[in-house]
Every structure is written in C-alpha cells, then in structure tokens.
Amino acid sequence: MIFDFTESYWNVRISRPQQSYSVLRNIFCVAASRGKNHVIFVKSEEAMLSEKTLSTFVETNQKFKDTGISEMFDFKYKEDVEVCFSKLKLKKLETLDPSPIDIKSTDGLIDLSPCIGIYQEAVFFENYDIDADIQLRIALNPELKGLYTGEERRSPLDQKILFLVSLETRQIRYRKQVAAPFVNGEHRERITARLKTRLHTDEKAQVECRLRFYGQEGGEPLFSANGFADAVKGDTVYELKFVSELRHEHFLQCAVYMAALDLPKGILWNTRDNTAYEIEIPDRAAFLDAVTRTVTKGMIKKYHDHRAVQEMPWDVKNEPHTGKAEEYESGAEKKEKPGKKRKFWFQFWK
C-alpha cells in the first residue's frame, strides 16, 4: 500500500540539495514494485506521480539551502548518520517511573506523535511561543508564507500545533483530517507531572540555535542549520520527544543543539516511556566534521568554525548562535518589557 506517490512529494524530494535523480527514482520504483500480488496506490487530493515525471532526468541540485536542525539528518546516507552517532558518549539515566503514558498516537493512519511532542512543550513551559516555531518554519520555507492566514493566527493551540506539523511534514491531512483536541485533560496532567521531575515551568525554553557551514576556511557561509533547543537548564540542553522509541537522529538533534550553544551536556528524554539519556561530545571538532560530511553528502569534508569572527546580520548582542556559553548566559538573562512580544533572530535575518 503506497502513500504519497504524488507529483508534489516527488518535487519536494528531488529539489533537495545533493539529491541524486537516479537514487530517488529507484526509491519510488522499488516502492511501486514490491507487492507480491497487488499494489494499492492511495489517492489524495494531489495529482499522482506520472510515468513521464518519473522518467524525466533532473540535474542534481548543487545549491545548499538553510535547514532546520530538527530535519537536517533526514534523507541522508544512513552510514554517514551512524558515523555521527558514533561520535557521541551516551549514558542511560535511571527513572523511578517507567510506565508509559498511553496517549492515542494515531488518528486513523495519521501519526500524532510529532503533535504530542510539540503539545507537551506548549502546555508546560511558560515562555514557549508556538508562533515563533511557525515563523521559523516559514522563514526556512518562504513559499509556505501564504498559508499562515489571519484565521490560522487566531486559532486555538491544538489547531496551531496541527498547522505547524502540517508545515513540517508538507502533509495537509494534519490540518484537514485530525480531530482536536488530541490530548485529554488526564494525559495533560500526567505529561506535566513527568516533566516536573526534571524541569521547572520557567526554564529557559525554546532557545535559539544556529550552526553556519562554510565551504572553506575564511569563506562565506554556504548555509545554516537553525532551530530551537527545547530547554536549557544550567549547562545542559534538554531535547524532549514523545515517540514509540528513540532513533539515532533524535540523539544527533540534541547533540547539534549542544554544539551550537557550546554546552557540555545534553539530555534526550522520551517522556512517553520516561526513557532518558545523557549525551556528551568527547571531540566537538570530529563530531562537527562528521555532521558536515553527512548533511552535505560528502561535498564538504570539514566543519570550519567561524564563531569568533562571524558578523551579526542584525543589531542584537549576545545571541546564543555565537556558540559561546558565557555570552548565551548573559544574553538570556535580559528581561522583557511587559507586554512586549518575544523577538527571534530569524525575524531580522535576510
């Protein structure tokens, strides 16, 4: 049974930087030819992928594009991802309550785990701003700007979460087919109680991070990986998930936030089953070299660290994307004026 065998999904995949036409064509062909007796193509509102499109050669996109840290390891070579993972030092943390929080994680065939992951941050942290997450997604994908209408801006939290996940996955089904609310009051209380075992509601949440990637020492940046760390407590980055099981990409996401903020420790916490791991990066340079090779598919072999010399494209001092922990601490302590909406670097960028 084949989903997303559509013109639009093909275009999303083939337009990605360093995407080989022949590799992608083979992926789609394999998907369409694995049935022993029948292959069912699930139709959607979008046009199905045509044989003409599938057979038309497309030059590899050699341009780099700014990416979100949460998705920077998607559609990369698995062996490269594993090399990155091998650069981490992990320690499983003991937990007093390993019982799972059994929230219904699907609506029909739609995976709700990314929605629940965002939901737990939104209802727990006092400083969380879902509009900032939406604006970051649009900043990275300007073609989506028209979707964020006045009606979407005024919608309740659950609808905004579904809208955000729809932008992240490019799946309209989250906006049109998922029933809200998708978390009830009892489960909300259980999530909140579990988060309180390690964190406070007033922690530094939604901390801005950026890593710039350069083609050569002293050159211009080719692209950036941008995102928000879920929380920072002391010298530790917290990355929260609500998934059936943790994947290596989740560990790497937390590690990239650590590297971007130049903080020594991270905790990856799957609140669904209360599994948590402490993460360290023994050799930051080696890790970032491996990350660079992975996200560029080998086009760039080494990470060139320009933190000390990069110029700020906006008039803001002590932003966390410099990667200097001491600057991050001083900048994060600034008080906001009452009633003043939080501003994020991507609102000024470009």
Each domain of the chain, given as residue ranges in start order, spans 7-55, 67-94+200-347, 106-195
Question: What average pLDDT does this structure show over 290-297?
Answer: 94
Percent of the chain with pLDDT over 70: 87
Q: What separation in angstroms does the CA of 26 have from each of 40, 146, 182?
A: 18, 33, 37
The tokens describing 265, both together, are 């420790």
What is the average pLDDT score of the chain? Answer: 85
pLDDT in tens, 130-147: 999 999 999 988 888 888
SS3 of residue 324 by DSSP: coil
- Residue 289 pLDDT grade (very low, low, confident, very high; cuts 50, 70, 90): very high
The better pLDDT of the pair 164, 344 is held by 164
Which of the 8 DSSP states describes residue 77?
-
174 neighbors 115 (Cβ within 8 angstroms): yes
Lowest mean pLDDT among 77-91, 172-186, 298-312: 298-312
Rounded Cα distance between 92 and 98, Å, is: 13
Which of the 8 DSSP states describes residue 335?
P
Lowest mean pLDDT among 89-98, 104-113, 323-332: 323-332
CA 273 to chain centre: 21
